[in-house]
Structure formats: C-alpha cells, structure tokens
Amino acid sequence: MKMIYSRKQSQKHHELLKTFLPGGKYSSYAIKDSSSPIVFCRGKGSRLWDVDGNEYLDFNLKSGSAFLGHAHDEFSSVLGDFIGAPFFADHYSNELAACRYLRQYIPCCEAVRFGLSGTEIVLNAVRLARAYTHRSKIIRFYGHYHGNADPLIYSNKVLIERPFLRPFVTEGAIDSHIENDNLLLPWNDIEAVEKAFQDYTEQIAAVIMEPVAVNGGGIYPKEGYLERIRELCTNNNAILIFDEIITGIRMGLGGAQSVLKVVPDLCVLGKAVGGGIPVSVLCGKMDIMNAYESGRVIQAGTFNGYTLGLTAIGSVFQIIEKHADNYYQNMERVMKNICSVLFESAKKVGFPVSVQGPLTCMSIHCTESELKSVDEFDGKVRFMDGVLRECFIGHGILNAYTSRIYANINLTEDDVEFFGKRITGALEDASLLLSRIKRGWE
C-alpha cells in the first residue's frame, strides 16, 4: 500500500467527536463508511487542507453544494456584506433577484417557494401534487434518491418483479399508508410506467424522478423515455416532478430540463443553487403553485425564504451568468482531461474503470464498461467503488460517496496536473486491495 497521507490529528479529533455524536458522523450513509472522517481547517478554489497539513483536490464539494468552489472572492464578499444587514427580517429588498433569476432560467418556473433542505422541499412538492390532483399515489424509481423522510425513502410495494428491486426500509418508519401510496418502478422501463397508469387509473398524483439517475450510478434516460413520461402525465392529469437537487445549475443554468428539453410541472433545486449556503427551491407552473395562495396547501417554516439563502441564490446566478459559457465550457474541458488522465493511468495499472453521467457530476465505476441500467449498480459495484474512493482519498483526491466526482467553476489545468501525479498510486492501491478481497470471494 502506498497511501501518502497520514491523518493522525483527524483520527484523534474523530475519537473525541464520537463521544458526542453517534457514529462520529453526521449522515447515516457516512457511518457505513468505516474510515475516519477528515477534519479540514481551510479551503480555496478546488483545494482543501486538513488539520494534519494535507492538501486535497476536492471533487466532493460538500456533496456537490460548493459549485463556486471554496472561498470564492465575489460570493464571499456578497455574503460578508450581507451579514451586517437586517437578515433576520421576513422580507428584504434583495429577495426579488433570486425569484427573477429562477423564472428566467428554469423552464418550468412560473412561481417559486423556498425551503432549507432537499428532503423538506421534496415533501412539499409531493404534498402540492396530491392536493392539486386530489389523488394519493406517487410513482418513483429504484435508485433515485429524494431525501430521508418516511414517504420517499420507504417502499415495499414493488410493482415489477426484478431480482435487483429490493425495498429500502428504515426502522421507525410509519408504513401503514406509505406502502399503498408509493409505487416503486425500475428506471428507464417505459412499459412499467405505462402499466402503472393502466392499473391505477385516475389514482396517480405524480411521477417523481431524477431526470438523470445520478444517485443510481450516473444513468441517462433512454431516448424518448422522458418525453413519453411527460406525455403519460399530461394525458392522465398527473404531475411530473423533476428532482434537480443535484443536476439543477450543474448541467446548465436551466438544469437538466433545459438540456434534455423536457419540462416538468414542478421541480426541486438545492445544493449548487445556493453555492453551499443551505437553501432549497420549489419551482412550478402557476396554476399548481397557486394552491398555496388559496390556503388549500400549507408550506411554512421559520427559515423559508430567509434572506441569507435568497442572497446566495441571487449571487450564484449573477456570478455564473456573467461568464456562463466560459464556466461550463471550462468545466467540461477540465473534466474531459481528468477522464483522459484517469483512463491512461488505469490502462497502465491494468485496472478496470469507467466514467459516466453528466461531466459536472459524473460517476467513476470499477467496471470494464459503463453501466447500462440502475440494476447494474448493485452491491458489488458499490463496494468496489467505495474501495476506489478510499484509495483516492489516501492520495489527496476527494470524491463523494459512490465515487461521484463534482466539478466546480474554478477548476484549472493545475488541478489536472495534481490529479495526474496521484491517480496512478491510488489505482495501484485499489488494484491490490480489490485483488485480495476478490480472492476471499472465490
């Protein structure tokens, strides 16, 4: 093993943290990762430094939230100036900028509401769809993630029998009505969706999905798939909801819907849209969103539309808008160069690797070829990807869980060089570890 980083101070910190924090981590998904978390003390652009003095190329970006990178000068200045303003007021003069930018760039956005987290805003989108249609059933898809609340993390009603489809259950969930109202389907199988609409005529309130299955391994929709679902929703008076918590802003200022040319009735945004500041957005068609004005549907919260969050949204759009073509073209160029270096090193080491999904939120898998469907992103692939991720981290390359790589607008060729100097060692470590593990499987 050639791990180049010592993390003694981070490990010491973590041991103390575990005496306060169950598992020593803030996410139940992170607890499954056996490694100690890295404790950081500063960051700039695409780089982070930990308390042991190690430098990292950050492709995690707090699960993709820090789209502007770390300590972006203009963004930091705007937020810093705002701290001295009355930002605990219910309404502030700069809130219109965020609303106008969202309506200008997000195709489905005729009206907006705001929240703090993706989980919260998804729940509100589903509630709104149910109220508008006076129906209760929701179609969602295996491998897509819509937050950790009971109604959207739990289902044991699998309509299409496939060996890879397994109910995801969390202890403590209230399941009496959830089982009947959640219809869990395989992604990219249009016949399954058509059958669900046939079997549950005039009962389906909404179809919710990631327009690109980023959480499912980086799977793009098949040709015509989104268009057909759009048609089915329209013909059956159901609401189409795009979960663009990840793809919003990242795939373009208008999100995946602007790139893929399919417009939903509602969409949710988060992560990158706030540049790392906690905020989420529900955008939608005016006739649906007007249910809030009539009081038929409740959406309330102390920090809904809080002014720091709206300032962040307005600033993110303003910064990107000024040089949008340059930013997106630069990210695409740098990420393609990262891929080229990765493939060259993988060939040298003899390590199987594939890359797929949108370049600004792409997935790296330990497979000979790209995954064709979400069911191929099984436990074995996830495990191997996790080993690869740990080896990346040991050589100063941070990526998100399931080996996802997030780009930021500050990426440069210096980052490609940093990556190139470390990737071969990381792949050699992964190859050695996985060969030992595979011998145990045989």
Active site amino acids: 145, 243, 271
Cα of first residue to Cα of last residue in the chain, in angstroms, is 22
The token pair at 184 is: 């869990």
Residues whose CB falls within 8 Å of the CB of residue 229, separated by 6 or more in sequence, listed in order: 190, 193, 207, 209, 240
Amino acid letter, 16: L
Are 111 and 125 contacting, i.e. CB atoms less than 8 angstroms apart? Answer: no
Q: Which residues pair with 172 in a beta bridge?
A: none
Cα three-residue angle 403-406-409, rounded to 5 degrees: 160
Residue 339 class from Cβ within 10 Å (0-12 exposed, 13-18 middle, 19+ buried)? middle
Pairing assessment for the beta strands 239-244 and 280-284 based on DSSP bridges: unpaired
How many of the other CB atoms lie within 10 Å of CB of 217?
28
Pairing assessment for the beta strands 137-141 and 182-185 based on DSSP bridges: parallel
Q: Which residue has the tokens 């199987």?
A: 352
Strands (E), 229-384: 239-244, 266-269, 280-284, 354-356, 361-365
Pairing assessment for the beta strands 397-399 and 361-365 based on DSSP bridges: unpaired
Strands laid side by side in the 361-365 sheet: 354-356, 361-365, 404-406
Are 257 and 248 contacting, i.e. CB atoms less than 8 angstroms apart? Answer: no
Pairing assessment for the beta strands 280-284 and 55-59 based on DSSP bridges: unpaired
Q: What whole-number distance in Å separates Cα of residue 111 and Cα of residue 116?
A: 17
Q: What CA dihedral angle connects 115, 119, 121 and 126, to 10 degrees?
A: -160
Q: What whole-number distance in Å separates Cα of residue 146 and Cα of residue 140?
A: 9
Q: Which residues pair with 307 in a beta bridge?
A: none
For residue 14, what is the DSSP state?
Answer: H
Q: What whole-number distance in Å separates Cα of residue 21 and Cα of residue 150?
A: 23
Q: What whole-number distance in Å separates Cα of residue 47 and Cα of residue 142?
A: 34
Amino acid letter, 19: T
